[in-house]
Every structure is written in structure tokens, then in C-alpha cells.
Amino acid sequence: MPKPHLALVAALLVALGLSHFSDQIDPYHLDVLIGVGINIILAVSLNLVNGYTGQFSLGHAGFMSVGAYFAAAISLFVAPQWLGAEGGSVLQRGLAFAGALLAGGLCAAVAGLLVGVPSLRLKGDYLALVTLGFGEIIRVIFQNVEKFGGALGLNGIPAYTTIFWVIAFGALAVFTVTCLVNSTYGRGFLATHDDEIASESVGLDTTRYKIVAFVVGAFFAGIAGGLYGHFKLTITPTGFDFTKSIEIVVMVILGGMGNTRGVILAAIILTLLPELLRPIAEFRMIIYSLLLIILMIVRPQGLLNFPRRAAKKSPAP
Amino acid sequence: MSEFLQQLLNGLSLGAIYALIALGYTMVYGVLRFINFAHADVFMVGSFIGYYAGKLVPEGTLWGGFSVLLAAMLGCALLGMSIERLAYRPLRGSPTLNVLITAIGVSLLLEYSGQVFFGAAPRTFPPIFPSQNFQFGSLTLSSNQIAVIVVAALLMLALQFIVHRTKIGTAMRAVSLNPRAAQLVGINNDVVISFTFGLGSALAGAGGILYAMNYPSIDPLMGVMPGLKAFVAAILGGIGNIRGAALGGLLLGTVETFVSGSQWSTYKDAIAFGILIIILLFRPAGLLGKFTVEKV
């Protein structure tokens, strides 16, 4: 079996094992672990867009909110009818949750398609601005839809998110992105990142690649949103604003754009750091922003982007 | 009808402020080809300088008001120039994405240092200019609104003069047209870029004071929304185009005021972005911009 597939199976087994022993783990540690997992999904999926494909999106939290809202709505309004009054068996609840997550992810992917098709014709700064704008528009829409609780958001979401689901979907996100980028088709993402005009002149449809990256990224952001909603049990539109997007972007930049390992590491560090630095929590964002500025001057390739091996020199002629 | 005129006036005074901020975006884009995200927070710092300087002068006097305005403009000009010197100049020649990320970093740094040093709670801006309401028939016009429109118009005229009639303005236009050729004819690009940042930030500082006069509640995150909208205004008018920025600001302010006066008022913040997206799709060069084709 190829390496990524093996890793996926191993991760799923670990997830099953951990969920078996989750009663013996300190609930606080379990919560932190779930937070880390959700952030890994977000960072890895954004890395496909911002890192590998080189399209700077600032609206990831918007897609996350779409997933969070639709998954929560299904768990709140649709699933109870199917599960019946007793709440169904464990398997039924699991199926309902998986269904809700996937539906949330699909809705986010559709939102990604709707946003991506018009905005991905733009480049650099403009794209960043438009994705930011769409993120804000999504937030304003959720604020105004009564069915989704308006500005108060949705409350009383069932606590379905367990460590098993987080690790399983985290592994799936990493697996999908890795395999996609390393496939023959996926080389197009890197080509689009490296030189758009050159890739177009050799016949790559760069717009299509950008949209695919965007939709896949949005799908996993939606999944992460669903997990987040069923973990926090309450979601409000303001929880998915600009700062949330920036937080994910910082993870990607810190880890090194287009470097999945680094990004996973960065997501872990940046989730654990605030937990460890609680006493100086008010300085967290200042540290983040200084980190961004200094990083761009000193080490623009990202803090955790280590060369895996020395590049093979071509034999001397 | 009178309600329409009233809304139009309110819209114009809001639009004049957007225009002042948009000018800074557009000038920096003209010389450096990147969006200075931190500009919106320079605007915020401007109103905080006004808040502290306003305590030093007697309230409600004309000279006091103008000295506060001047202090904010000077302070912001210095801030803008130091941001350029410390954060952007080391990145001259690196990919746009790096500069963009730095700009976001500077913006966040200003916002959250503001939250730590100024406190996150909103504060009431002192009435630094003498205020009075004038009645024209059924129209109500506050002296603050008049001050906003007059000051903004004066500043824009001054800017127009600097850019088109002075040596440094000519140098600015030269750098924006072609930085390398400008260097060849003996222009010091660093000086011009620094001056551009100073000028744009001074306008943002003035915008901050004017905004705080009309919406007298200031907090460290107040710059985000007006900043984004001013940026939309800059794109609407054609980024890099000074007259376009003024036009875009006025248009956007007016549209927004009419929307917030209608039944769609809760969608007020989404309107600007809707306009942005429509403009970028159908006329990416903006209303007054020239369309250029990218060449290899």
C-alpha cells in the first residue's frame, strides 16, 4: 500500500483506539486535542489554496461558518425526526453526524464554487480583498436569517464531536490534500503557483485549477466548521469573522506556504501556545502580528519550512 | 423630497470621509502597487491622537479644532512614514504576497497594540469644533457636516495642487508611471515613496478626526470597516487614480446612506462588498481607471 494510504489507515486506527480510551484522558486535554485537530483541518485545507496554488484567500472563516451552520441545522432540525424520540442507537447517531458534517462540507464547497468562479479571475491583493469581502457578506447574511438565529446564532447543538471524528476527518483532510498535490493532475496546482502565464501557455487551465483548489479547501473548512459547532455547542456569526480567517492564515504562513508538515506543526503550536500563555492572552494577537512582519523580512519561506533533503545535483556534463 | 436631500447630504459627508481615506490607498498603490492594509489603522490612530490632543485645547473653538486636526495629520504622517521605513522598505523587490502579508501584520499590530494601550472599550470623542445646527426649510444641516465637507474639499484641492503643481508631486507621478525610469532621471524613489506615505497617512489622520466628529465613539477596531469601504471606494474610482478615489468615496458614502435609510439597513455592510465584487467583475479598472493588459 502506498505511504499516504498507510498513514490514513494508521491514523484511523489511532482514532478508534483513542476514542476507546477517551474516558481515561483528562477532559481538558481532550478539549485541547480536539481544538488542535480542528485547526489542523482548517490550516491544511487553506494551505491547498494559499500555499500550493498561490491564491491568497482571506475568507476561510466564511466557508467554515457555512459548514458550521448547515451541519448544526441538520443536527438540530432534520436528524431528530430521523432518529426518533429515543435518540436512536450509537450507530444511528454516528451516521446522522457524519451525514450532517458531509452536508455542511458540501454546502461550504458550493459556497466556495459560487465565490471562486467570479473572484478567482483576480490576482494577489484583489483576490485577498474579494475573499475577505465574501467572508463578511456570508457573515452578514447569517446575521439576517431568522431560521439560523440571526445575530444570536444557533444554540443547543448536540455534542457529537468526539476525538474520533476529529482525528478521522483531520487524517482525511491531510490525506486528500497530500494525494491531490502529489498526483499528476495536482502538479497543475504547483504550476499555477509558480508561473501562471507559463502554465497557461503549456495548456493548463489555471482558472480551473484555482477553482478546484478553492472548492476542496472550502469543503474541508466546512467540515471543520461542523466539527467546531458540535464541539462548542453554540455558534454565532461573529465567531467566524475576519480575525478567525487571519488566525488560519497565520498558521499557513508560519508553517511555510505549500508545506503540509510545517502547516500541521504550526497549527499544533499556535493552538497550544494560547493555552500555555494564558497569563499574557491580551498580547497574543500582537505577538502574531509581529511574527508575521518579522517573518516576512527574515524568513519569508515560513518558520517551519525545513528542506527535507539536499536537492540532488544534476551530474556534471 | 426633503428627506431625499437630507439623506444625500448625510451621504456626501460620509462619502467625503471615505474619499479622504481612499486617497491614501490609491496614492500608495500608485507608487508601490500594493494595498496598504495598515492604512485603515492609521486612520484609527488619527482619531485617538485627536482624542488626546482634544483634551489639551478648549472645546468648541475654531482654532482648537484646527490645531487638533493638524496634530492628528502630523502624527499620522510620522506614523505612516515609519511604517514604510521599518516594515515595507526591507521588502522592496520581494513578491507581492510577502508585502501583502506584512501589511496585514502591521494592520493587526496597530489594532491590537491599540487595544492594549488605549483599551478595547469605546470612548466618546470630544466636540472639538463649535457645533450648531442650521435649518434650511425642512433640511437640518449640522456644522459638523459642513466642517467635514469643507475640510475634505480643501484637503483634496491641496492634494491636487501638490500632485500636479509641485516638484515632489511630479516626482510622485513619475515613480507611479515607471519607477526605474524615474530613478534614471535622478529621482530618489525612497524619498518619494516616504513622502507619499506621509501624505496619504496625513489625509487618513484628518479623515479619522472628521469621522470621529460625526460618529463620536472611537475604539481600536473602528478603522476596519471604514478602511475596507474606503478601499472599495478606491477600486470603484479606479485604483491609482486620485480623482477616481474622491469620486468613488462620494458615491459609496451616498449609496450606503441611502441603503441604511431603507428597509435593507441590516445589509448596509454587505453593500460595499457587493459593489466591490460587481466592479471587479465588470470593470476591474474602476470608473475612471485605464485598462491595461498584463504583458510577460
pLDDT digits (tens, 9 = 90+) for A189-206: 999 988 888 999 999 998
Q: How far is B202 from chain A (nearest CA, A)?
A: 23
Type and span of the H or E element at B206:
helix B189-214
Split into its structural domains, chain B has a count of: 1
Tens digit of each residue's pLDDT (9 = 90 or more) over A62-71: 999 999 999 9
Q: A124 to chain B: which residues are within 8 Å by CB?
A: 96-97, 100
3-state SS, residue A306:
coil
Residue B203: CATH number of its domain: 1.10.3470
Residue A80 has a CB neighbour count (10 Å cut-off) of: 14
Residue B51 CA from chain centroid, whole number:
18
Tens digit of each residue's pLDDT (9 = 90 or more) over A213-254: 999 999 999 999 999 999 999 999 888 887 888 889 888 988
φ, ψ at B93 (rounded to 5°): 90, -5
Type and span of the H or E element at B123:
strand B123-124
With 80 as the cut, is the pLDDT of residue B88 above it?
yes
Which residues share a beta bridge with B242?
A: none
Instruction: State the pTM of this model.
Output: 0.84
Confidence label for A1 from pLDDT (cuts 50, 70 and 90): low
Q: Stretch A45-56: mean pLDDT, rounded?
A: 90
Of chain B, the end-to-end C-alpha distance in Å amounts to 54
Dig out the grid coordinates for B187 from the structure: 529621482
Residue B288 near residue B244 (C-beta atoms within 8 A): yes
- Residue appearing with cell numbers 432518529: A83
Question: B224 touching A, CB under 8 A?
Answer: yes
Question: Which of A128, A246, A296 has the CB atom closest to B91's CB atom?
Answer: A296
Q: How far is B153 from chain A (nearest CA, A)?
A: 28
Dig out the grid coordinates for A229 from the structure: 459547532
Which residues of A sit within 8 Å Cβ distance of B?
Answer: 54, 56, 118-119, 121-122, 124-126, 128-130, 132-134, 136-137, 140-141, 143-144, 197, 242, 246, 249, 253, 282-283, 285-286, 288-293, 296-297, 300
CA dihedral B10, B14, B16, B19 (to 10 degrees): -150
Domain limits for position B114: 2-122+139-282
Tens digit of each residue's pLDDT (9 = 90 or more) over B33-86: 888 889 999 999 999 999 999 888 887 788 888 899 999 999 999 999 999 999
Q: Indicate yes or no: CB of B112 within 8 angstroms of CB of A286.
A: yes
Mean pLDDT for chain A?
Answer: 86
Dig out the grid coordinates for A118 from the structure: 467570479
Q: Which of B216, B246, B213, B218 is nearest to B68 (CA)?
A: B213
In a domain, B293, yes or no: no
Dig out the grid coordinates for B121 from the structure: 472599550
Question: Which of A119, A140, A291 has the CB atom closest to B269's CB atom?
Answer: A140
With 60 as the cut, is the pLDDT of residue A310 above it?
no
Domain ranges of chain A: 3-18+27-242
Residue A150: left if φ>0, alpha if ψ -120 to 50, beta else—which one?
A: left
Residue B171 near residue B187 (C-beta atoms within 8 A): yes
Q: B266 to chain A: which residues are within 8 Å by CB?
A: 140, 143-144
With 50 as the cut, is the pLDDT of residue A311 above it?
no
Alpha-carbon gap, residue B275 to B18, rounded angstroms: 15
φ, ψ at A235 (rounded to 5°): -130, 140
Question: B256 touching A, CB under 8 A?
Answer: no
Question: B115 touching A, CB under 8 A?
Answer: yes
φ, ψ at A159 (rounded to 5°): -85, 75
Which residues share a beta bridge with B140?
A: B135
Alpha-carbon gap, residue A269 to A207, rounded angstroms: 34
ipTM of the complex: 0.80
